[in-house]
A = this chain, B = another copy of it.
Amino acid sequence: MKQIELSIKNALGTVSKSDVDALKPVAQQSLAKLTDGSGLGNDFLGWVKLPSETPSSLLDDINATAASLRENCDTVVVIGIGGSYLGAKAVIEALSDSFAAYRHDAAPHVLFAGQNIGEDYLYELSDYLKDKKFGIIVISKSGTTTEPAIAFRLLKEQLEHQLGRQEASKRIVAITDAKRGALRSLADQEGYKTYVIADNVGGRFSVLTPVGLLPIAVAGFDIHALIEGAAAFEQATLTGANDMATLYAQTRNALYRAGKKTEILVNYNPKLHYFGEWWKQLYGESEGKDHKGIFPAAVDNSTDLHSMGQWIQDGERTIFETVLSVVDQKHELRIGHDEANLDGLNFLAGKRVDEVNKMAELGTVLAHVDGGVPNIHIIIPALTELYLGQLIYFFEAACGISGYILDVNPFNQPGVEAYKKNMFALLEKPGYEAETEAIKKRI
């Protein structure tokens, strides 16, 4: 099996090899904590051995559910927020045709809802679905998270109205707690097909559970290969055969300690845009606490060389980049010859478009390194399920290790509650009477 690879060569200007090596012991201790459960947040380590412990029968069951939705629906709406949205979105976008939204000839369209509280977004979604054969995958541990709960209340009613309650119940799949909560109760009552969100896997580490796998399967992609890639990388990481995760964690922490406070995840393939969004949640939510943590940002090049490129080249020298290179493209397209050559492009005639893209990438890396921006390099053989599985596990493992090096609990997110508490107080939610009174005095 080919593998994703890591090079830190172009990061070794600001920090030295020995700065990075100095963090090796703590990185290895951190890795050990992930497997022996002796670190902070150890009740959320279910993701560590998840790929290798995922039974093939679960994947087959998910595929059967996906096949039923694909057969009966032209549109499937995935309702979820945060980790119940970004993982599936990232993998689906990475594997899909760039213009899948505009095509009506293939798999069902997978749309998302409950990831915002946009009134126009929900209205327009509901309007769009009026004459569609749609299904719903609703993802919520509790069933009461505001954003997905609002979207589900609306779309469930619409589906029941369009199909009748009994038919609707066959087109709704709930991914929720095994036993407790509002969504579990409803699913049991209505007879929805369900999958379980384990207690020990946090949202941002859940893409390889049914949370990510069912939407990915509905979109037509191979979840066996995704898990296979992740499982192989899990084995290699946990046995020490592959040190990419520790090395990446060491390098980014060494850079952070040297004053590089912002990490920009860079891609040269627009299909990786949402992978950047998934990565921002994974690292931002895991590390941004106790008034520390690298600020995660992302750019899509060469597009953003013409927007953020100037800042990256010449702005404050407080950033580093982690570049995702995809070696093989899916299609082949060569630049044609043009007799008149007014655009002066004939020197590229006969070359693949990707050759130009690769030179843009290499030229940019050299320019940024020259300009004082350390570059970490991650090489992905191709955008396939197998390599995405490897990449996901790599980033998850490195994130846990990196958080422990930073000395935070990488598996909680206490700060996310702050806005919710205020919002409930402002909305006068029952049980928030004291908070309501207090907040009303402030505004």
Binding site for B on A (CB under 8 A): 81-83, 85-86, 97-99, 101-104, 109, 111, 115-126, 128, 143-144, 146-147, 149-150, 152-154, 157, 182-183, 185-186, 203-204, 261-262, 268-271, 277, 280-281, 284-285, 287-293, 295-297, 300-303, 305-319, 329-333, 335-336, 338, 340, 342-345, 347-348, 351-357, 359-360, 362-364, 366-368, 370-371, 413-416, 418-430, 439, 442-443
Q: Do the beta carbons of A316 and B293 come within 8 Å of each other?
A: yes
Q: A123-B329, A284-B310, A370-B418 are in contact. List 19 more A-B contacts (CB 8 A).
A: A82-B307, A85-B303, A85-B306, A98-B121, A98-B125, A99-B111, A101-B102, A117-B354, A121-B271, A150-B353, A154-B336, A182-B342, A285-B311, A296-B308, A296-B311, A347-B430, A356-B427, A360-B423, A371-B415
Q: Do the beta carbons of B314 and A290 come within 8 Å of each other?
A: yes
A332 contact set on B, CB distance < 8 A: 119, 123
| Shortest Cβ-Cβ A-B pairs, 8 listed | A288-B311, A82-B306, A363-B422, A313-B415, A281-B307, A288-B315, A363-B423, A367-B418
Cα–Cα distance between A307 and B301 once the two chains are bound (Å)? 22
Q: Do the beta carbons of A356 and B97 come within 8 Å of each other?
A: no
Q: Do the beta carbons of B333 and A308 come within 8 Å of each other?
A: no
A116 contact set on B, CB distance < 8 A: 270, 300-303, 357
Q: Do the beta carbons of A98 and B117 come within 8 Å of each other?
A: no
CB distance from A45 to the nearest CB of B (A): 19
Q: Do the beta carbons of B120 and A330 come within 8 Å of each other?
A: yes
With A81-B303, A123-B331 as contacts: A318 and B261 at CB distance below 8 Å: yes
A153 contact set on B, CB distance < 8 A: 335-336, 338, 343, 345
A413 contact set on B, CB distance < 8 A: 310
With A125-B99, A419-B305 as contacts: A293 and B315 at CB distance below 8 Å: yes
Cα–Cα distance between A41 and B291 once the two chains are bound (Å)? 39
Contact of A98 among B120, B150, B343, B363 (CB under 8 A): B120
The 19 listed contacts between A and B (C-beta, < 8 Å) are A99-B125, A102-B111, A117-B360, A119-B352, A119-B354, A123-B330, A150-B353, A153-B343, A154-B335, A281-B306, A284-B308, A288-B312, A295-B316, A314-B415, A347-B429, A347-B430, A362-B443, A363-B424, A363-B426
With A310-B288, A423-B360, A427-B347 as contacts: A366 and B442 at CB distance below 8 Å: yes
CB distance from A314 to the nearest CB of B (A): 4
A295 contact set on B, CB distance < 8 A: 262, 297, 311, 315-316, 318-319
A297 contact set on B, CB distance < 8 A: 295, 297
- Residue of B with least CB distance to A356: B117
A305 contact set on B, CB distance < 8 A: 416, 419
- Residue of B with least CB distance to A158: B336
- Residue of B with least CB distance to A187: B342
CB distance from A89 to the nearest CB of B (A): 10
Contact of A308 among B271, B280, B317, B443 (CB under 8 A): B280
Cα–Cα distance between A317 and B295 once the two chains are bound (Å)? 11
Cα–Cα distance between A362 and B419 once the two chains are bound (Å)? 8
Q: Do the beta carbons of A366 and B289 come within 8 Å of each other?
A: no
Q: Do the beta carbons of B291 and A343 come within 8 Å of each other?
A: no
Contact of A344 among B182, B268, B317 (CB under 8 A): B182
Q: Do the beta carbons of B128 and A99 come within 8 Å of each other?
A: yes
Q: Do the beta carbons of B336 and A118 come within 8 Å of each other?
A: no
CB distance from A324 to the nearest CB of B (A): 13
Cα–Cα distance between A348 and B331 once the two chains are bound (Å)? 50
A419 contact set on B, CB distance < 8 A: 302, 305, 309, 313, 360, 363-364, 367-368
With A153-B343, A310-B284 as contacts: A269 and B118 at CB distance below 8 Å: yes
Cα–Cα distance between A120 and B126 once the two chains are bound (Å)? 32
- Residue of B with least CB distance to A121: B98
Contact of A439 among B109, B309, B366 (CB under 8 A): B366
Cα–Cα distance between A97 and B124 once the two chains are bound (Å)? 7
A347 contact set on B, CB distance < 8 A: 427-430
- Residue of B with least CB distance to A340: B186
